[in-house]
Amino acid sequence: MRLTTRAPWRRALVAWGGAAALGLSLALPAAEDAPAVGLPFEEQVQVCGACHGSDGNSQQAGTPSLAGQPELTIVNQMIYFRERLRQNEVMTPQARGLPDGEIQALAAYYHEQPVATPEGDPDPELKALGQELAAQQRCASCHQSDYRGREQMPRLAGQREDYLVAAMIAYRDRTRGGPDTTMIDVMRGVPDEDIEAMAHYLTYLHAEE
């Protein structure tokens, strides 16, 4: 189904509660718009690409790749940053003031970008352990059996390993903000070594295809 300009906003409101979100938005003080607001699309891609890579495949430590992500995943996260429902010292100001239409265009672009093969070779034992742990955690029930994601569920296959580790630890330790609390429950009590194994498996999942 083709998204309209207003569709991402409505979907996000459903996800985190329209009345509460609107009240928070109205209470926020005025601030300068993000540097990409209103720029030609090609220049917006350059702004985003400074961290995420021009084709959405991040080469920067700790910065997620956007290539191949479901459009709604990117749209929702950008709206969360824009409305300060998810706080990040880099992304919250970068999303400030971005209209829905510009967010949609960027999401569509990155969704179409091919996912690059991760550098290096996987550790067979660690990858096998990660596969077993991911199955135990039932990660595929939301992220699909091939971990390519769907709708608001992000793609995990081929994502930067360091980012996956940091994100799962942040969910476990309840330090990652945002309206979605599902992952907090999923990651509760998972030890670091299990997180590292799952991240390794997911990063190299399709590397040999």
Q: What is the pLDDT of residues 77-113, one digit of tens each?
A: 999 999 999 999 999 999 999 999 999 999 999 999 9
Residue 209 lies inside a defined structural domain of this protein: no
Q: Do 96 and 133 fall into the same domain?
A: no
Contacts of 204 (CB under 8 A, 6+ apart): 118, 122, 127
Residue 197 falls in which region: left (phi positive, over 0), alpha (psi -120 to 50) or beta: alpha
Q: Do 145 and 107 fall into the same domain?
A: no
- Counted domains in the chain: 2
- Residue listed under structure tokens 């998972």: 190
Q: Do 26 and 75 fall into the same domain?
A: yes
Q: Do 173 and 104 fall into the same domain?
A: no
Q: In this model, does residue 186 exceed pLDDT 70?
A: yes
Residue 17 lies inside a defined structural domain of this protein: yes
Q: What pLDDT band is residue 3 in, cutting at 50, 70 and 90? A: very low
Q: Report how far apart the first and last C-alpha atoms of the chain are (Å, whole number).
A: 30
Last residue of some domain: 79, 112, 145?
A: 112
Q: What pLDDT band is residue 181 in, cutting at 50, 70 and 90? A: confident
Looking at residue 151, the DSSP 8-state letter turns out to be: T
Residue 117 lies inside a defined structural domain of this protein: no
CATH of the domain at 91: 1.10.760.10
Q: Do 132 and 101 fall into the same domain?
A: no
Residue 2 lies inside a defined structural domain of this protein: no
Q: Do 81 and 135 fall into the same domain?
A: no
Contacts of 90 (CB under 8 A, 6+ apart): 51
Mean pLDDT across the chain: 87
pLDDT tens, residue by residue, 103-137 = 999 999 999 999 999 999 999 999 999 999 999 99
| Cβ atoms 74, 171 nearer than 8 A | no
Last residue of some domain: 80, 112, 144?
A: 112
Q: Which pLDDT score is estimated for 174?
A: 94
Token readout for 67 is 């290539």
Q: Do 51 and 144 fall into the same domain?
A: no
Q: Do 45 and 90 fall into the same domain?
A: yes
Token readout for 148 is 């390519």
How far apart are alpha carbons 77 and 109 in whole angstroms? 15
Q: Do 129 and 106 fall into the same domain?
A: no
Last residue of some domain: 56, 77, 112?
A: 112
Residue ranges making up the domain that contains 90: 7-112
Q: What pLDDT band is residue 27 in, cutting at 50, 70 and 90? A: very low
Q: Do 49 and 99 fall into the same domain?
A: yes
Residue 25 lies inside a defined structural domain of this protein: yes
Contacts of 81 (CB under 8 A, 6+ apart): 88, 91, 92, 94, 95
The model scores a pTM over 0.85: no
How far apart are alpha carbons 133 and 140 in whole angstroms? 11
Q: Do 21 and 56 fall into the same domain?
A: yes
